[in-house]
Amino acid sequence: MEMLWRARQASSLPLDYIRKSRPIAASVVGSHIVNWKQAQYPITGHHRGGNYEVTRVFDLEFPADFEFDWHHDYRNDKTVPKSFSRRLDIRSTDVVGDIKYIWEINRHQHLSAIAFSGRPDAVHIVSGALRNWLSNNPYLIGVNWTSSLELALRIISWAISYPVLYSVMERDPQLRDSFAQSVYLHLTTIRNHMSLYSSANNHLIGEMAGLYVGAVCFPWWNDCDQWRPFVKETLEREIQLQFASDGINREQATSYQLFTAELLLLAMLVGRNSADEFSGTFTARLRMALDYLANIATPTGDLPWFGDSDDARGFVFSQDDDALPVVMQLGALVFNEPRFAAFAPGVTAAAQALMPSECRKLNVGEVAPMPRTTTRFLRDGGIAVIPCGDWKLVMDVGPLGYTEIAAHGHADALSLQLAVGDQYLIVDSGTYAYHSHPVWRSYFRGTAAHNTARVDGLDQSIAAGRFLWSTKANTKVTEFLERENLVRISAEQDGYLRLPDPLLHRRTATIDQEEKYILVEDTFVCDKEHDVEIFWHLSERAILRQQPHQNVVAEAGDHAMKFSFSMQTSEVSIIRGAEDPILGWRSLAFNRKHPIPTIRIAFHISGKTTFATKIDLTQPSTGRQDHFSKQ
């Protein structure tokens, strides 16, 4: 079926080539475009989105009123030709540079944030940018018509900005008509080029959210009456497919958990505000997705970043509002769940726009109850969350990713992350890059960048492309025990059964909540010789000291932990920011990386071997407490 679908998509290329010069006419325009009323619009306009002085595009900054070349990659100083979109190779850095830098500005999320800011010239900036974009991006010409997800996110930004822009549209019929025509072409293109089968991941949710928001906010054509029920049915299905019954997004990527939750919340609220409610089944699964986020987040909103991340947002009302506070505050209001509200210190611009009447229930300045983490083994999604006082262990025992290609998964089976108070101290290394920096892309996706074991210098799973895995490690949980103050979880992964001498990796994590230690036992079941490495990646906040008997103490602020190892013949080293080979790096934002301390334990085995790591959750010595408290 997938091959047939892809063949049909390819066969539509000649028709699209004809359409680019003879765009589909926006057949039926309703009276809504002329007789628009704010009270009937599902998004409330306001100017409380905070100050807006600088547009940030990953590691670049531009003045708020900067006039972008919409086809230019400003990071690599490369302009993409304005040619037929479906002939452009967006994967080629020679053709497009880094496509992420172009697409990010063309999502127009900076324009929606400016529209809701308090700038007196906000309407002038946004309307001017929109005019410029419409004149420089004719239908199916250029890189900005190559991805249905990008079209959908742009439509969402336009829908968010429309309450602010309508006064300009009313005075300028030419802009209004040009805008309406482009909206229609966006929506028809999304509908005709959906991401299906192995591509039906967060892209499909984003596309459907954009098509739904566009059809509800711009109901100017008869097609909208067919699109709305179709999209609702699709989103109702996809939330069940893409989110496990325990709320975990099946892409095994925290960033996409947030991204899709944000999009689904927007679609649900736009529907509710226009008397088009989603089902109770839909809302129940969405609530589980937010409950999972509340369970893994620290009190200050630090998260364990499994899998890929490109800093993607579903929508932006204010650049001061991060994704987690926005999602959790909307969830708090939608589901009447006060503990979700703890992650947002004030009323977000998104809540004011989407749920203005409910915002009155929020007592700004009143300390909301922090979510209490309880031990949870989320079997369907493949994550175990185990608290130990003010510590919290999260273990990945799930699959590599979603669908056959597992596009955004990392080779991190059986990896651990550990939160210490407000922040994670044993951390995931992050992502850093997608299309550019292929060597670094491979490292950050690979096993050595995660808190697990690597055998014979090979990743657990075999990558076949930037967003494709040809051979995937499978995991299986063999035991989960919870008894008084002790929790134990055992699991195994089969990624190394492909070796000439097949090897099975088993990991057992035992958490003693009273004595405050974690015992990690890694067993390698094989017949012959192998080289094994175990990695522990620590936060940039941590300072590491090696002690006698190859013990390592990691200290950060008022917290410390001691690593001790069972095999004294192993080689224990602390590596920070190495490049040959790459090790000891972390990326907290797209295209940015920095050194972190990483413990590497290397040893040689012959036949079945068990290696134990004990992590004592202690306090730092008196002589060093003052020093770390000042960091």
d(CA 66, CA 148): 26
The identity of residue 44, as a single letter, is T
Given a cut of 90, whether residue 179 has pLDDT beyond it is yes
Given a cut of 70, whether residue 27 has pLDDT beyond it is no
User: Looking at the DSSP assignment, which residues form a beta bridge with residue 520?
Assistant: 509, 613
Work out the average pLDDT over 373-390: 90
For position 64, what pLDDT does the model report? Answer: 97
Tens-digit pLDDT profile for residues 467-496: 999 999 999 999 999 998 999 999 999 999
Which one-letter DSSP state was computed for residue 340? G
Please give the C-alpha separations between residue 307 and each of 142, 386, 406, 582, in angstroms, as whole numbers: 31, 20, 10, 19
Written as six digits, the tokens of 255 are 């960033």
Given a cut of 80, whether residue 147 has pLDDT beyond it is yes
pLDDT-derived band of residue 397, with 50, 70 and 90 as boundaries? Answer: very high
d(CA 333, CA 623): 47
Work out the average pLDDT over 296-315: 96
CB-CB neighbours of 597 under 10 Å: 21
d(CA 555, CA 499): 38
d(CA 156, CA 536): 41
Work out the average pLDDT over 251-270: 98
For position 228, what pLDDT does the model report? Answer: 97
Tens-digit pLDDT profile for residues 404-415: 999 999 999 999
For position 13, what pLDDT does the model report? Answer: 61
Tens-digit pLDDT profile for residues 28-46: 455 456 677 888 999 999 9
Tens-digit pLDDT profile for residues 211-244: 999 999 999 998 999 999 999 999 999 999 999 9
d(CA 279, CA 284): 9
Given a cut of 80, whether residue 372 has pLDDT beyond it is no
For position 26, what pLDDT does the model report? Answer: 53
For position 374, what pLDDT does the model report? Answer: 78
Q: Which residues, 6+ apart, have CB-to-CB distance to 630 below 8 Å? A: none
For position 484, what pLDDT does the model report? Answer: 87
CA 542 to chain centre: 25
For position 15, what pLDDT does the model report? Answer: 58
CB-CB neighbours of 336 under 10 Å: 10
Nearest CA to 307 out of 347, 261, 248, 357 is that of 248
Q: What number of residues does the chain have?
A: 631
For position 477, what pLDDT does the model report? Answer: 98
CB-CB neighbours of 543 under 10 Å: 16
pLDDT-derived band of residue 367, with 50, 70 and 90 as boundaries? Answer: low
For position 622, what pLDDT does the model report? Answer: 42
For position 577, what pLDDT does the model report? Answer: 98
d(CA 128, CA 502): 62
For position 32, what pLDDT does the model report? Answer: 55
Nearest CA to 263 out of 308, 218, 330, 356 is that of 330
Cβ–Cβ under 8 Å, residues 412 and 473: no
Choice among 13-27, 167-181, 237-251, 605-619 with the minimum mean pLDDT? 13-27
pLDDT-derived band of residue 96, with 50, 70 and 90 as boundaries? Answer: very high
For position 31, what pLDDT does the model report? Answer: 47
For position 389, what pLDDT does the model report? Answer: 80
For position 627, what pLDDT does the model report? Answer: 30
pTM of the model: 0.94
For position 296, what pLDDT does the model report? Answer: 96
Written as six digits, the tokens of 9 are 């998509």
User: Three-state SS across 61-107?
Assistant: EEECCCCCCCCEECCCCEECCCCEHHHCCCCCHHHHCCHHHHHHHHC
The identity of residue 370, as a single letter, is M
Work out the average pLDDT over 373-395: 92
For position 375, what pLDDT does the model report? Answer: 86
d(CA 385, CA 374): 8
d(CA 259, CA 129): 25
Work out the average pLDDT over 53-75: 97
DSSP assignments along 517-578, one per residue: EEEEEEEEE-SSEEEEEEEEEB-TT-EEEE-GGG-EEEEETTEEEEEEES-TTSEEEEEESE
Query: Number of C-alpha atoms within 13 angstroms, CB side, residue 26?
Result: 21
Given a cut of 70, whether residue 6 has pLDDT beyond it is no
Kind of pairing between the strands at 517-525 and 592-595: unpaired
Given a cut of 50, whether residue 454 has pLDDT beyond it is yes
- Return the SS3 of 262: helix
d(CA 33, CA 12): 31
DSSP assignments along 13-65, one per residue: HHHHHHHHHSPPP-----GGGTS--GGGSSS---S-S----EEEETTEEEETT
- Average of per-residue pLDDT values in the chain: 92
Written as six digits, the tokens of 467 are 């967003």
* Spatial strand order in the sheet of 517-525: 475-483, 486-493, 504-512, 517-525, 609-616, 559-565, 552-556, 543-546
Between CA 153 and CA 157, with CA 154 as vertex, the angle to 5 degrees is 90
φ, ψ (nearest 5 deg) of residue 522: -105, 120
Written as six digits, the tokens of 268 are 């649900």
Residue 562 CB burial class (10 angstroms; 0-12, 13-18, ≥19): middle
Question: Which has the higher per-residue pLDDT, 542 or 360?
Answer: 542
Cβ–Cβ under 8 Å, residues 358 and 273: no
d(CA 319, CA 55): 9
For the chain, list the domains and their CATH numbers: 34-361 (1.50.10.100), 376-629 (2.70.98.70)
For position 18, what pLDDT does the model report? Answer: 60
For position 361, what pLDDT does the model report? Answer: 74
Rg of the Cα atoms in the chain: 25
For position 225, what pLDDT does the model report? Answer: 93
For position 631, what pLDDT does the model report? Answer: 27
Given a cut of 60, whether residue 630 has pLDDT beyond it is no
pLDDT-derived band of residue 180, with 50, 70 and 90 as boundaries? Answer: very high
Helix pair angle (223-242, 202-217), 10° resolution: 150
Query: Which H or E run contains 576?
Result: strand 571-576
- Residue found under tokens 């990896």: 415
User: Three-state SS across 200-244?
Assistant: CCHHHHHHHHHHHHHHHHCCCCCHHHHHHHHHHHHHHHHHHHHEC
Given a cut of 60, whether residue 624 has pLDDT beyond it is no
